[in-house]
Structure 1
């Protein structure tokens, strides 16, 4: 599971071209509701050549699977991306015209979202250029540069893609995760073949599950479910199967990485991942996951594969993603203090004893420096990761958590002095606390969320890991956030020296409640509800504690000069409320209580106060900020001597956003346009 940046709603003013920190330019581009940042990779130069070469090949593997995510998100994404790129690079008209500029912005949005649906809101974004302009542009491009189907031509391409692009009713939402409709049929993603219904999917996988199996595989994790001749079958993503062309390239780079492994354990991990990609066997994936979680000695680490299930309406099928990183030894001292005390935190959790782990196993945590992002971690990336996701592996072997500090640093540097806090924070008291403690407590909350939150608790015997269905992702993120919030205010955190004093936690509490009740609404279009799991989670928590704390006036929404502000009156009682909600969410997960879980999410996490929403959007618009952030990767280059031997690996931070996206489409695109 991943933690997404809550601070991403804090943007950089558009009129500032760049942010400098030791001559480093953090801001690369800004358009629509998006800002593109660069991240530094401090410490890379000090690594050994062998480590750099390992990072290089793992990074190449992280880029090879780029097309997979596009196709997973929607079956027309690759064809649309390639058509728009062909227009962008070959258009001979006025590139300053409103129509072409609108096409350029739309293409940039497609790159950012890995498809035609908003990466957070899930809604399809509609082009600001006209269907006529699009058709004229396509006709001007050499047909050899367009993704036409066999036996078809340009006009057929225009006819097929136009409704997908321009009709709001066609494939309107990438993933539906709640409501009374069939969420499989209503979702526009490509995890299921046309015509398959939610009851059919649930029945198909339900027959596979054995309630007596205490080490079940993650059913459906790496396949598309389709109908062939009226029979439902799985199309597995593997070498020789679906997405083979891209997976073969991933495997080739992983094989090149093997000779540079730091130790035998790491070598075995990479080789087991290769075996999994070749066979598609989910038991092999579990074996790889066990090897990976038990390797706590390697300095270089990576994630590569079909991992997170946020994009599947039923939370079963995984998007392809990758991160490549190395340990930040100094900052990891912080997470080691947390992981070494994991049993204490579990024992003192406010949840029912029945749902606690008697013995916490294999909890490891570190702070990392990411060197490359790929798939569902690019351009938008998590700030923390806790894996594996399989409950039985967590139970028997533990979990491994990371906080990505060079990413949180980039967020922090790019947001300094942008006017956001002055507009939305109640008073100087809260602003001073945020300035003094904000970066520390934000990272610490991520540490607690990933290291302890996701790894805490247990399912009761016989509970189906998929029992919470469409609500599982939201409730799991809620559980992990609450665990982090509850303990952030515990005296144990001061005792461990993780914060400078007993007042520090209040900065994160204030920011979290302000974001959950108000400021994250800048990410939602007027009239829309909350869709994305992390956003639902944050609103659920904030609205629940706001409502339950009304009797004691724990939190208020106060008006000043016609503007609404969040005011926290009692931080101690707020912490107690976090504990009460944590106990209930853990019960829901441990018992697989779908009805209670659904009610909690639907009552608190989905609906938006339209009047407050309109006010927040108006105030935010005046700041000229971008509510979402993503990143360009550094360019990793081999340096060779006259004999052709690699003598160094260097990083180049100067590549622009459009340049990087076009280069990736040229160098890392292996799948056919229609899969």
Structure 2
């Protein structure tokens, strides 16, 4: 069946939203602004590694686009684009593609993991490059030639991120299979090693011997462990992945040390610097321990290889770094929530046996983001991400035990807790919601969550019969849970829209939330917690996948959701700039040209050349 190309083109009317950090930035002292600036630069420079993690063509596409828009303004390039045959719509499509590419840190969506392609032919893009100010640059032209056939290709194995036989990834070389990855997981487990900041490369010699090289992200290069035999293959660990980018990252962090707010921040940065130098996960864990102690900072940040959503094996993590100013007024409400947390936990549907012996009170703050370097900007974060339970076997973690299912399972558990706790009047009161308004907030929360679970069907990979996006998988599962509750609580019906085309109408009976909806989610949540706490992967997998199944009816709903989908927002972020020892915030208009300009000004030419060098070092593996 031919691919519908329109489904893989970012619409020209995609909304662009400005990440507003001006008010947050104004609340910071000059010292705090410097700290924010240096950590933001570390975050953005480190996030260049994401282009090397996503697809083989992402880094070279970035290189060409950067050089193109760095050399001339958008208006200058538009004149040349029209001259070589671009229509107005095609020029806009090219700008939208570029902005989306930057926003997603590559040519696969940060939310959904599906490929997107330009809404203009590659031949016209080539003509524009050749006519532009970089059209005589042999390096730019050769780089474009290396990706020209890939940028618009929609071959079956290129549509989604995945192992090399079914998808695209740069967490592993293209010849690594799922079985290979599982073997390496066993190797890591046996040696009690972590693999968040690693990539895996496979090489078969002339003698038929298979060698796996595990590369740690670090500025330092060299051998960590000599080649050794394991289950019939040879495995070696080396340092130096993304080495030039990791060097930039820890050099910026070192500049932040003189302007830290306290000793905890200083020790945290020193440990992170150590981690980015030698690739040692224990150093990052130690840094996180100091981060936990830094309670209530004016400037909040976190940096490292954090989330494992996009690795097909569900174990290796994407680089992420952010800086934010703490919104003190909103944070007061969250602190009130935390103060009552031990009592609130008792309302969740599991006993003390499924909780830690001692409750570790978190630092729960509202953040106004100044800079976020990664493939997307989340609504919220929960860090650190490593907690090993005592009843797991030595060397096992939650992510290694539950593997590729771990992210969706945990997101589902978190959102189920939200379903349940938003029914609590005392919690709603903390945020100023009482009486009828509190009932409305509860209703809208359930309504929006269930709707999100229905719309999540867009991200189900029907041809492979699998879910590719953890949050969507989680939300769909919970929507199936409340549908199963029965008693007319949730109804989804196929209808006709005003345009006469198929549509979906769903109804939630707000009067049954407490008597039908909450008990159903409670019971499901208790099972999720029990399987997680006891490390029962098989039980958890069976439960989760039974609700995550997509049948004929749901496939029909999926077609309607896809036909009526709306474009996702593209964010334009500000930059922090240092002039004569003072830090200022530079903002950009909420339009695709603003996104492009923000990236052109965010990186210097040396950073882009170092990204290019890292890509060339990777080239043989892909």
TM-score when normalising by structure 2: 0.80
* In structure 2, C-alpha distance between the alignment counterparts of 1:33 and 1:654, rounded to whole Å: 17
User: What is aligned with 1:565?
Assistant: 505
Which residue of structure 2 aligns with residue 453 of structure 1? none
**Partners of 1:49 and 1:331 in 2: how far apart?**
23
Residues 53 and 198 of structure 1: CA distance in aligned 2, closer, same or farther (over 3 Å): same
1:224-276, Cα deviation, whole Å (9 max, x unpaired): 11135531121111012111111111111111100000011111111111011
Map 1:363-512; keep pairs closer than 5 Å: 363-376=362-375, 380-392=376-388, 464-465=397-398, 466-494=400-428, 496=430, 499-501=433-435, 502-503=438-439, 504-512=441-449
Which one of the candidate residues 473, 478, 487 is aligned to 1:541?
478
Q: Structure 2: how far apart are the matches of 1:103 and 1:30?
A: 11
1:612 to 546, 557, 562: 557
Q: Distance in 1 between matches of 2:556 and 2:17?
A: 30
Q: Distance in 2 between matches of 1:614 and 1:194?
A: 31
- 1:175-574 aligned within 5 A: 175-176=161-162, 183=163, 185-210=165-190, 219-228=194-203, 229=205, 230-240=210-220, 241-376=240-375, 380-392=376-388, 464-465=397-398, 466-494=400-428, 496=430, 499-501=433-435, 502-503=438-439, 504-517=441-454, 519-520=455-456, 530-547=467-484, 549-550=485-486, 552-557=487-492, 564-569=504-509, 570-572=512-514, 573-574=516-517
After superposition, what is the alpha-carbon deviation per residue over 1:600-637, rounded to whole angstroms, capped at 9, x for unaligned?
444433637243344445555xxxxx431232122323
Structure-2 change in CA distance of 1:99 and 1:566 (3 Å): closer
Q: CA deviation at 1:68?
A: 0.6
The C-alpha deviation readout for 1:610-668, integer Å capped at 9, x for no partner, is 43344445555xxxxx431232122323353xxxxx2x433232351121123335454
- For residues 236 and 207 of structure 1, the distance between their equivalents in structure 2, rounded to whole angstroms, comes to 15
The residue that corresponds to 1:587 in the other structure is: 530
Secondary structure of 1:247 counterpart: helix
Which aligned runs of 4 or more in structure 1 are off by greater than 6 angstroms? 522-529
Instruction: Name the structure 1 match of 2:572.
Output: 632
Determine the structure 1 residue equivalent to 2:3.
none
8 Å contact from structure 1 (residues 530, 536) kept in 2: yes
1:269-288 superposed Cα distances (whole Å, 9 cap, x missing partner):
11111011111111111111
1:119-158, aligned counterparts within 5 Å? 119-137=110-128, 139-140=130-131, 142=134, 145=137, 147=139, 154=142, 158=145
Report the Cα distance in structure 2 between the residues aligned to 1:353 and 1:513, rounded to whole angstroms: 30
The verdict on how the C-alpha distance between 1:318 and 1:62 changes in structure 2, with shifts beyond 3 A counting, is same
Cα offset for 1:510? 1.6
Matches of 2:461 and 2:184 in 1, distance apart? 36
Q: Deviations over 1:337-357 (max 9, x none)?
A: 222222223333202543222
* SS in structure 2 at match of 1:350: coil
Find the aligned partners of 2:16 and 2:540 in 1 and give their Cα distance.
Answer: 34
Tell whether the 8 Å contact from 1:110 to 1:116 is kept in structure 2 after alignment. Answer: yes
Q: Secondary structure at 1:364's aligned position in 2?
A: coil
- Aligned partner of residue 671 in structure 1, secondary structure: helix
Q: Is the 8 A contact 2:14 2:568 kept in 1?
A: yes
In structure 1, C-alpha distance between the alignment counterparts of 2:21 and 2:119, rounded to whole Å: 34
SS at match of 1:122: coil
For residue 184 of structure 1, report the CA deviation from its aligned partner: 5.8
- 1:468 match: secondary structure: helix
Whether 2:82 is the aligned partner of 1:94: answer yes
Moved more, 569-578 or 41-50: 41-50
**1:50 corresponds to:** 31
After superposition, the C-alpha distances for 1:493-529 in whole angstroms (9 at most, x for unaligned) are 1465653235132221122112212x45567899897
Partner residue of 2:151 out of 153, 158, 165: 165
2:232 aligned partner: none
Aligned to 2:226: none
> Counterparts of 2:604 and 2:568 in 1: how far apart (Å)?
26
Summarize the Cα distance change of 1:556–1:294 in structure 2 as closer, same or farther, 3 Å threshold. same
What residue ranges of structure 2 are gaps of 5+ in the alignment? 1-9, 221-239, 498-502
The answer to whether residue 56 in structure 2 is matched with residue 75 in structure 1 is yes
Q: Do the aligned partners of 1:175 and 1:313 also contact (CA within 8 Å) in 2?
A: yes
Distance in 2 separating the partners of 1:579 and 1:289: 32
Corresponding residue for 2:97?
A: 106
Tell me, in whole angstroms, the C-alpha distance in 2 between the residues paired with 1:120 and 1:329: 30
Offset of 1:131 from its aligned partner?
4.2
Pairs within 5 Å for 1:5-20: none
CA distance in 1: counterparts of 2:584 and 2:59, whole angstroms: 31
Question: Using the alignment, how far apart are the partners of 1:288 and 1:87 within structure 2?
Answer: 39
